[in-house]
Structure formats: C-alpha cells, structure tokens
Structure 1
C-alpha cells in the first residue's frame, strides 16, 4: 500500500495550494511595482508641466485676485474689493453676454454640422483622404485663419463682397457691423474647428455595432429613424465629451478677435478673454484681471459639471 501511495519517480511533488497563492501574489505584486515605476517615468514630464504651467499659476492667480497688483509694485492685499468691483462693472457683464452669444452660435452650428458631416462620412465613404481634407483647416494656425478670412471679408476689396456684387448685393461690413461681427467670427471658427469635431464624432460612430443598423433595417427602420433611435442615443458619451471641449474652447476665444476687430466696433466683440487681456496688459490691473479669471474658471467648471451630469457622460447604452 505504501508503494501505491508513493509519488512516482521523476515527477515533482505538488505544491500546496496556499504556497501557490502566495507565489502568484508575490509575482503580481512585483509586476505591479514594475508597471507603476514605468508609468511614473512616462507621466513625470506631464506632471511637472501641469504643476509648473497650470497648478502654480492658478494658485498665484487666486492670490492676486485679492490684491491690487500693477506689476511695477508689490501686490497689496485688498480682500474682496476686486470681486465687488467686478459685480458692478458694466463692461464686464457686457463682455460676458458677448461671449455667451459667440458660444451659442459657435457650439450650435458647429455641433449640428459636425454630426451631419460625421454621419455622412460613416455611412457613405471610408476614404482616409477625404477625412484628411476635412481636417486640414484645423491644422492651420488660428491667427492665420482669422487674417485670411478678414482679408476675404474686407468691405472694399474682399472676395466675399466681390462675389455678392455679381448678384447685385451691396457690400457688407462683416467684421465692422455691430450686429454681424460676432456671428462672423463665430462662423470663421466653426469653419476651422468643424473637421476636428466631426472626426471625434466619427470615431464614436465607429464604435456602434453595424448589426444594430442591420437589425433596424430588417424591422423597416429608415435612415432618419435609425439616426434618432440608434445613432444619437449611442453617441451620448462622445457628444458629452465633444460639448465640454468645445464649450471650454469657445469661452477662450481671443486670438481671432485680437487680430481682427480688437474688441470693436463699440465693444461689440469685446469677449471676456479680450477684456481680461486688456485689463492686465494694457491697463496693468493684474489683480482685477486675475479676479475675472478666477470667476471664469468657476463658471467653466460649473458648466462642464452640469453638461457631464445632464448628458450622463459616464454611462453608455452599448453596455
């Protein structure tokens, strides 16, 4: 019986189960430590950049918002005086309204057209060349785009007014009219960012299983109905991300206005970023400019939070 129960010669003895578990846990721990070390090395440059160029300036800006600081002298603590001044500053509130007008036009037109363009790309063609062409305007510097459109829309020699003249339409001061300046700037930036936004949405469309469209077609669903019942609901997480990015980017509009209208005519295009720049680098009121910057951070954080919550960005109907 002893021979029958003995372990055959040449075969290793079975390791007890607790010992195997300990060895596996030790191996996993070593692997995790190695992964953490590699991840830390790769993340370190980005972390340093975040601390130096984002976190420290933000903390410094919050401090300066409670001071009277003109760059030439040391900051003088004034408490909430700058915030009280901001609440009664008519130009500030006007610039905020102008910014909201720009954001509404830019986001509304850009999002709708980008969705249509992305759906057409997804349903009709798979050409990489066409996707590259659509993205080309985004690769051009925003200042260059603004200057080119500013020249084309010139009242006297602009190509746009020249084409309108062929149809008997009088020249239009696209950048010089108080009513048209902001819509014109918004549409210029829609043209530049449209391809990038469309490609983000296009990437979301590719994640939707084709079987869902095939099943809907079998049930008699047309393109329009499939778009509303399948495409838009399943695109919700991607659209939430796109809206957050585009809203934040729209509130930061500055360079197009700086090289074209410079806040005019009659403050018609004086958006919040340009007003902050004017106070800081033209009138050297850095403390007051920092106050408006802090206010803008709070507003954007609140808007982003509401967008993510209302659109349920963390949920997906694909799961």
Structure 2
C-alpha cells in the first residue's frame, strides 16, 4: 500500500515537472520569437505606424516645421477641404484619371496575357518588351512623353505628315489629362500582364480540353473558364492598379505641373503643393489622411472579396 502511494506521488510529481518544463520551453520559445520579430516591429513602428499616427495628429493642427509652431485647430482642416473648390476639382480630376487608367489597363493587359499565354515564336521576346515599361523610371518616361507631346514634338510631326493640324497637347485643358493617362497605362501594362499570365497558368488545362469536347468556342471558353478562374487575380490587379494610380505624382510633376488651369492636378500632387509650396502642413495632412482612408478602403474590399472566395 505504501509502495503504491509512493509510486502515485512520484507520477504526479513527474507530471508536474513535465508541465513546468513545457511551460518554461514555451516561454523561452516565445521570448526567442519576440527577439527575432523585434527588428521588423521596430522598423514598422518607426517608418509606418508612427508616421501615420503623426499624420493623423498633424491634420488637426496648423502644422509647422517646428513643434513650437504647431497649434491645435480641431476639425477645421477637414472643414476647409469640404469648402475648398480647388480640392473638389482635384478629387474630380483624380477620379477621372483613376477610372480612365484602370479600365483600359486591365482590358489591354488581360488581352495581351491571353495572347502571350500561347506557344509561338518570339513569345519570350514580346513578354520582355511589354514588361520593360514597368521597370522604367517614371521621371525618365515622363520626360520622354513630354518631348513626344510638346508643340513641335514627334506626335504633332506625325499628325502634320498626314495633313492634320498640330494639337497643343500639354497646353490644353482637354488633351493634357489624356497624355498623363496614356503614360500611366503604358507604365502599368507590363506588370499587370505578368500577373495575369501567372493567373492563367494556374487554371487547369483539362477544363479547356473538356470545353472543346463539349463544342465550346474560344469566346465561350474565355467567358466561362478564363474569367471565373482569374477572379482573385482580377481583384488583385484592379486594386493594385487603382492604388498606383491614386499615388500618381511624378508624371504630373514632370509633364504638366498640375496645369493648365488646374486640369491635371491630382490628389498627391495637390498634397505636395499645399505642404511644400504653400507650407500649409495641417491642411495637406488632412488631404493625405483622405488619400490614406481611400487606399485602406480599397485594400479592405480586396480582402473581403478574397475571404468570400475562400
């Protein structure tokens, strides 16, 4: 009886020691994990979370180069946004620019991806050629487009060759924005095409083979197999293209400077102008907060679509 009790006590003690050892090991692993995560967390906190928090704080102040010059104004900067006609023109310009860039970019890049997903000579060369714009500096590309569309540029020379009068592309409130849109589509085309190619190659080939046996033509295969299979990719490309377009700055800065008559002034350039030309940091921070909110909304919608698909 005494031996049985002693054995039972030893068993309980061993279990307790085992649990303590597991807890200690788990604690050590947790500490090690935090140590390895610390550099990334410090980096994110310093260069992402803190700037966002400070931007939000600055949007409720007058803003200044020094902390001593900062004065709390509450929501006045946001009220000024609502009451400023120039801001609403900038919003209109940005929406027009975004829609007119995203839709053609998606359609053209998807069409190219479908064509270049087939086997034929020079396929690799064409893929590379279409991808080059996405790795080209926007400043360099902007200077090139500015030269192409200036009054005595190549585009007008080509029009004159066919007997068409020159167009003041960059001096016209009608034509200046299409030049920026064309540059943005050209810039995004290659990246979107590569993403669509990856999505196309993830669609099982046997689906197309079964559709052919059922007598489906190319258009029916595209509509009923390709598009549904590309839905997650399509959402990703749409959101990334929209975010890239909303962040457009270099092409405006290099080509038009927001003109003529504010017709190409986009939101990021407007924020830059208010902050570093007008030195109205609080107002610029409020406008930047609006841009951040729109970007986060787009990301949220993308995650919701992905979650629904999964």
TM class, shorter-length: 0.7 to 0.9
**Which 4+ residue blocks in structure 1 deviate beyond 4 angstroms?**
36-40, 43-46
Residue 37 of structure 1: how far off its partner (Å): 5.4
Please identify which structure carries the higher helix content: 2
Give the number of equivalent residue pairs.
286
Unaligned stretches of 5+ in structure 2? 1-14
Residue 38 of structure 1: how far off its partner (Å): 7.8
User: Which of 115, 132, 137 in structure 2 is aligned with 1:141?
Assistant: 137
- In 2, are the aligned partners of 1:236 and 1:313 still within 8 Å (CA)? no
Equivalent residue, structure 2, for 1:208:
203
Change (3 A) 1:94 1:207: same
Residue 78 of structure 1: how far off its partner (Å): 0.9
**TM-score w.r.t. length of structure 2:** 0.85
After TM superposition, the structure 1 = structure 2 runs for residues 84-99 of structure 1, keeping only pairs within 5 Å, are: 84-99=79-94
- In 1, are the aligned partners of 2:110 and 2:193 still within 8 Å (CA)? yes
Change (3 A) 1:279 1:154: same
User: Which of 296, 300, 308 in structure 2 is aligned with 1:301?
Assistant: 296
Compare 107-116 and 119-128 and name the one that shifted more: 119-128
CA distance in 2 between counterparts of 1:38 and 1:173 reads: 61
Coordinate RMSD, CA, aligned: 2.4
Is it true that 1:57 corresponds to 2:48 in the alignment? no
Equivalent residue, structure 1, for 2:232:
237
- In 1, are the aligned partners of 2:184 and 2:245 still within 8 Å (CA)? no
Equivalent residue, structure 1, for 2:191:
196
Equivalent residue, structure 2, for 1:226:
221
Determine helix, strand or coil for the equivalent of 2:256: coil
Equivalent residue, structure 2, for 1:13:
none
Equivalent residue, structure 2, for 1:75:
70
CA distance in 2 between counterparts of 1:40 and 1:234 reads: 41
Unaligned stretches of 5+ in structure 1? 1-18
- In 2, are the aligned partners of 1:67 and 1:287 still within 8 Å (CA)? yes
Compare 112-121 and 50-59 and name the one that shifted more: 50-59
- In 1, are the aligned partners of 2:188 and 2:241 still within 8 Å (CA)? no
1:124-181 Cα shifts (integer Å, max 9, x gaps): 448433322221111110110010011011112x111111111111111222210111
Equivalent residue, structure 2, for 1:272:
267
User: Which of 165, 170, 178 in structure 1 is aligned with 2:165?
Assistant: 170
Residue 297 of structure 1: how far off its partner (Å): 1.3
CA distance in 2 between counterparts of 1:218 and 1:48 reads: 58
Residue 314 of structure 1: how far off its partner (Å): 3.2
Equivalent residue, structure 2, for 1:9:
none
Change (3 A) 1:314 1:124: farther
CA distance in 2 between counterparts of 1:164 and 1:40 reads: 64
**TM-score w.r.t. length of structure 1:** 0.83
- In 2, are the aligned partners of 1:237 and 1:315 still within 8 Å (CA)? no
Change (3 A) 1:134 1:266: same
Change (3 A) 1:262 1:102: same
Residue 303 of structure 1: how far off its partner (Å): 3.4
